[in-house]
Amino acid sequence: MNSKIKVIVFLTIIFITNGNCVFSQNANLSDKWAVGYYSKINLGNGLVWKTMKFGEKNLFGMNENINILETKLKNKKLKFALASADSASKPNHTSGVLKPTSQIAMENDALAAVNAGFFDMKSGGAVDFIKINGQVYDTSRVYAKQRLPFKQAISALTINNNSVRIIKGEQEKGWEEKLDAEYVLLTGPLLLFENQPQPLAKTPFNENRHPRTCACVTTDKKLLLVTIDGRAAESEGMNLNELTAFLKSLKCKDAINFDGGGSTTMYIKGRPENGVVNYPSDNKKFDHQGERSVSNIFIIK
């Protein structure tokens, strides 16, 4: 069942479902939200794709284009996993391979996907710990001046027995390597944990508006994968405080940031433009052609 709804609203919007707008005041949001366009498409097996377009600078004073993949955390009809541009025979970035999110998704026969962890744009491979199907592909790299990228990867997302969890990081060095899960992605920063916004350092990465990709677990036990387009007049991106407030309004209780910027991409099998449904910004155009090659992605099969 497909549904597309055009609405104009000048109230604070907390959530929308099946074309019905539910209004509520949210103390975390000072702006009035106005939705110019909303759509909800069932992709099958309990996976839903939602699109929200905010025009007239009505979300945090900006135009925004937002895509959301939503499903129940316990969904036996779908499989959650991480996938890499590197082959299983050549982990630890030895092949130096980077590929577009859509290509990795198609190679893994994914129903849907988003880009995932931070990576080395010159040499390939993840710059932080990642385990895929029980095999460590990369460990956190240490550089002469600082650990990249900007010490953001401080928490983790894990998948074990098809159950997704967002894990708060620990101070102990190498804590992520001790996580007992089939899939582990060290990433960040952590945005929400147990319903509480997490402190964010005052850095350009956190405070400037960029395209964003993130994952969250909601209070009603759903998994959301979210992309916010940016670096365009049609969609200006968010800083991480704005992203946290937006996710809180979607009932997220635990949320974590993935790699964003030019990497931000959402793929859905069978859609036009090689399945790319958002507007990746790496070509500096507001179209579906601007995918950046990445090291790893989050897939739904």
For 213-261, give the DSSP string: EEEEEETTSEEEEEEE--SSSS---B-HHHHHHHHHHTTEEEEEE---G
Q: For residue range 105-156, what is the model confidence (pLDDT) as tens digits?
A: 999 999 999 999 999 888 888 888 999 999 998 876 654 344 444 467 789 9
Kindly tell me if the per-residue pLDDT of 250 is higher than 50. yes
What is the mean predicted confidence (pLDDT) over 220-226? 98
Percent of the chain exceeding pLDDT 70 equals 80
Whole-number Å distance between alpha carbons of 168 and 199:
12
Kindly tell me if the per-residue pLDDT of 12 is higher than 80. no
Question: Residue 125 has what pLDDT?
Answer: 83
Whole-number Å distance between alpha carbons of 71 and 47:
5
pTM as predicted: 0.87
Question: Residue 141 has what pLDDT?
Answer: 62
Tally of CB atoms within 10 A around 44? 9
Average pLDDT, the chain: 85
Question: Residue 194 has what pLDDT?
Answer: 97
Closest CA to 289 of 280, 299, 301, 297: 280
What is the Cα gyration radius of the chain? 18
Question: Residue 172 has what pLDDT?
Answer: 81
- Contact 206/198 with Cβ under 8 angstroms? no
Q: Give the residue with greater pLDDT, 260 vs 18.
A: 260
